[in-house]
Each structure stands twice: as structure tokens, then as C-alpha cells.
Amino acid sequence: MKLYVEQAVFTWADRFSIFDELGNEVYYAEDENFTIGHKVRVYKYGMEIGYIKQEIFNFMPTFEMELRGEALGSIVKRLSFLSQKYDLEYKGWYVDGDCFSLNYTVYDENDLAVMQISKEILTWGDCYCLDILDDRYEEICVMILLAIDCAMCND
């Protein structure tokens, strides 16, 4: 399954629209205004399903994720020099990225790819293609993508 993510430009707060392969908006996410750190609410078909909140008193960018009222885990940017890496505190998953911060792969605890993220270049705002390899993890993958984008904005 593929989802396409587009950031709205010229808005007070970050807003992302997430479309399916037919161009239908399935999800959207909005960053709350006037807060310390990122606080992003995630909606599916207009109903809130999740929340991403930045933990501001950590050395490395850290984001707590909540999905459907339960703690999903957190994503923490790792200190690395040639690539972007994130520790994902969710069932032993981890994120590996290229040195240009354009492509990421999320792996499960058995080192099997769960999803691939590719960032489009030369666009207004951030645009991503999210290739989810197992449909069961659709909502989790959307949350992870948004948390990675928040961490990249902190750089």
C-alpha cells in the first residue's frame, strides 16, 4: 500500500494531508500553535486517532507517540554522522536513513522491512511517498513518518 504525504505551505502551523493511491485524503495531521516543542494531532477520515508530543528536556530529539488512546512508544534521533538513524521504542523496531535524509526504511525486530519512506525534492513544503509493506501497520507507519518529520525539523 502506498500513501502520499504533502505539507501545506503558508499556514500558521504545520499541516500534512495524506492521500491514498487514488488521491483521496485519508489522514491529516496538524501541529498545535503556540506550544513549546511539537504537538501534532493525527486524524483519519476526520476523527482523531493519534498524538505526537516532543519531550523537550532530552539531549536528542525525542517524540512520544500515542495511537487510539494507548502509548505507542517513542522515536529518538540517534547521533550519527553519515546517515540519519532513529531508535524506535516499539517492539524492537528501528529506522535507518540515508545520508541526505531523503530515504528511510523501518525494520521490525526480525530485521524485515515494514515500510519505506522517500522524500520528494524540489517541492513546496515536505512531500513523501510512504510504501507500507504490511497493511496491518498502516496507522503505526503514518505516526512514525510524522514523528521522523518532526525530528528532522528540529535539526
Residue 35 CB neighbour total at 10 angstroms: 12
Kindly report the pTM of this predicted structure.
Answer: 0.87
Return the domain boundaries, the chain: 2-153
Closest CA to 130 of 7, 14, 21, 9: 21
CATH T-level topology, domain 2-153: Porin (2.40.160)
Tens digits of residue pLDDT in 114-144: 999 998 876 666 789 999 999 999 999 999 9
Q: Residue 94 forms beta bridges with which residues? A: 87, 107
Tens digits of residue pLDDT in 79-116: 777 667 788 888 888 888 886 777 999 999 999 999 99
DSSP classification of residue 135: G
DSSP classification of residue 18: E
Exposure on the CB side of residue 105, measured as CA atoms within 13 A: 7
Closest CA to 79 of 61, 63, 92, 65: 61
C-alpha–C-alpha distance, residues 30 and 46, integer Å? 12
Residue 34 has pLDDT above 80, yes or no: no
C-alpha–C-alpha distance, residues 95 and 146, integer Å? 13
